[in-house]
Each structure stands twice: as structure tokens, then as C-alpha cells.
Amino acid sequence: MSTGQADASRRVIRVGACLSLTGRFARFGVQAARGLDAWRSLDGAAELVIADDESSPRTLESLLPAITRRCDVLLGPYSTQLMRVAGRMAADSGALLWNHGGSGDDVEAAHPGHIVSVLTPASRYAEPFLSHVAGSQPGIRLWVTHGKGSFGRQVAAGAAGTARGLGMEAILASAGSLPEPGDVPARWGLFCAGTFEDDVETVLRARALPDPPAVVCAIAAGVREFGVAVTDPRGILGVGQWFPGTSGDAELGPAEADFLAAHATGSPAVPDYPAVQAAAAAVLAAHCARLAGSTSREVLWEAALGLKGRTLFGGFEVNADGVQVGHETVLVRWDTGNEVALASQAMTGVQFLAHEDTALKAYHQTRARYLAGIPPRRAFNQIGEASSAWSAHVPPP
């Protein structure tokens, strides 16, 4: 990567990323790209280079070296699987990767000095849900299941361990499994951590059981498309890395309201957390480069280790291995009208909201301002095909 000195407040930073604009991860890769374009429009001194990795490790391997050479700072791909490949390549080539798309514990800690993560690690994903269940559902037996990938296994293992630490009985089940009809506990809860499609299928099967779970939480329910995939999702809980109104005042980069306004110019939907976490990674990478006056890996790494603050995504602080320790996940609950309402502070442990009314007010103000009169079901389904909006901002090689 290039190095050099410049005025920290005016230096133009070229940010590069391989993202899944097509393929199995495109649902969230496209959102990440839109989030980065919104950030670029607000930064005023940034260029953006995005390549489509097609959700393929092989394509990623072919594209990443050129993106690394062309750019000042490098963001990771979306998905733990692809981030694992990108992290290895960064370590082999001596690059630094800002990880916004792979929360697997093994990925975040795999290459100290080469990966800075902005995401809450997978093993801590379920913490707000478990705090809620421990306080509101005493005596309930928790059934924890996952998808086929390592991300789901790490989320599930962390959830089961944390639940037991809170005095709950937790069963860590095999991938996609549910209790047999004759073995269903009198009062049980379900927590599932798989791909979006895995979680939707598991939730639908669980709700169809003769004795369905008293409480359901799914990683997939942390994004708005869940309300399209599941009929009448009311009462289902979800866990995500971000939700409008939860991040507090941004000390670094744009305020949440400004970002949402910029994002709305390219997409009618309020963004889910993949867009915001990508934007936060760009904020942090550009801030460290400008502050240090250099884009060398060693200098950026030291700048990241010394940084503690808040972006529109929430808290940021990493340990000596680059693993995120300052950010917390958010618990959401699906309510009437297929709209997502934040659970109360007592349920989630989210320290930035005093009570549920504050969260609801922030959410409805956001939707009213940026979605105008678009019906929720239509607005929440605006994933669509990869937008070409950012292509005009890709500088020539």
C-alpha cells in the first residue's frame, strides 16, 4: 500500500473492498456497498473502489491483490467464510484489513497485526438475548441450534456457554435440529444461528410444532427482510450488530441521521447492519490513516490499537490481537405491522436507550423521514440487484 504525509483533515483516501454483489452473499454484500457509497458521499475526501467477489473464495483470491495495490486502505469482504480467505491473504502479503463482514472468533483473532475488526465476535452475539431470557423466563429450557457453517457453530457454542453461566439449562443441538415431538420440554425457548435461509426454515418448523417454543430468537430476525420471509413474525426476537437509535452520538465520522439521509438517496430502505458496519469500517480506516499521516500497515495497526471511540455503528475498541471488545450486539423484537421495535433496556442491556418508547420514537421518526409513504413490506424488501450507483465513483487504475 502507498505511504505518505498530508494534512489529516484534507487527505484524500482511496478505500478498496471486494464485496459480494452477486451470488449467495449478495443479500448483504449489496447493502455493504450501498453503505460505503453513502459514507463516501459524506466524507468529501474519499475515493471508493469496489469489486464483485461473486460470493466465491476463488474470485476473491483473484481480485484482492489488485485492489490492495490500488488502494490506501483495504476493507474485508462480507461473510466469515470469505473473510477467512482475505485475512490469510492480507497476512501473506503484509497488508492490513479492516474487518466489517466476518465476526467469527477464529477470523477476528487469526492474524494479529493484519486484521482490525469492528464487529462483536460471534461467541458474544447472543448476550443481550440471554440476559433477557434469564430475567424474564426463569426456569425455561433453551434449545440452541445452528447452521452448517463455522459462524453459526461459534454463535451457538457461545450462546450455550453463556446461558449455562447465567444458570439456565441449555441444550446445544446439532445443525438445524429441533426437539422430537415426544421430547419437547414443557417450557422451552429456541435460539438459532445459521444462514438467513437456515434460520427462516428453522423458525417456521419450530412454530409448526404441536408445542412451539415460548420464546424464539434468530440471527436472521435482526434484519428487516425477515418480515417478508416469515408470515406474522410478531413476538420473534432477533440479534444484530446495529439498529437505528442504538449507537449513541458518533465521535468519529457522520452522525446516524446524516448517514441515513445519504443512504436514502440511493435506496428507499432503512439500511440493516451490514451497510452500517461497512461504513463504520471505512470511517475508522480513513480516520487512522489521516491521523497517522500514513497508510503503512505498521502505522495503521498502532493507530487502531490506540483508538477508542464511537461511530454511527457504536463503540470501537480492539485488544492487542485486533479483536473487537468495545462493541455490543442489539436485541430487537418484531411487533405489529411487520415493523421492528427495539426491546427495552431491561431486556437488552443496551446502555444508550432509557426505555422502549425512546427506541420506538427513533425508529418511527427514521422511517417517516426517509421512507416517506412507502409501505413497510415493500420498503423492507428493496434488496434487489446490485446498484450501479457507486460505479461512477471508482477511479481509474
**pLDDT number for residue 354:** 27
Please, which residues have CB within 8 angstroms of residue 135's CB and are 6 or more apart in sequence? 346, 347
Structural domain 13-120+247-318, CATH architecture? 3-Layer(aba) Sandwich (3.40)
Judged against a pLDDT cut of 70, whether residue 99 lies above it is answered with yes
> Hey, where are the domains in the chain?
13-120+247-318, 124-240+329-379
List pLDDT tens digits, range 274-309: 999 999 999 999 999 999 999 999 999 999 999 999
What are 220's three cell numbers? 436472521
pLDDT band (50, 70, 90) for residue 246: confident
List pLDDT tens digits, range 148-188: 888 899 999 999 999 999 999 999 998 889 988 777 777 89
**pLDDT number for residue 9:** 56
Task: Answer yes or no: are the C-beta atoms of 253 and 10 closer than 8 Å.
Answer: no
Task: Answer yes or no: are the C-beta atoms of 118 and 99 closer than 8 Å.
Answer: yes
| 33 vs 228, higher pLDDT | 33
Strand order in the sheet with 237-240: 169-172, 141-146, 188-193, 215-218, 237-240, 330-334, 340-342
C-alpha separations of 186 from 141, 183, 192, 211, 237 in Å: 9, 9, 19, 8, 20
User: In CATH, what number does 124-240+329-379 get?
Assistant: 3.40.50.2300
Judged against a pLDDT cut of 80, whether residue 386 lies above it is answered with no
Equal CATH topology for 13-120+247-318 and 124-240+329-379? yes
Measured distance CA(111)–CA(107) in Å, rounded: 8
What are 95's three cell numbers? 497488508
What are 239's three cell numbers? 440479534
Q: What is the pairing mode between strands 115-117 and 97-99?
A: parallel
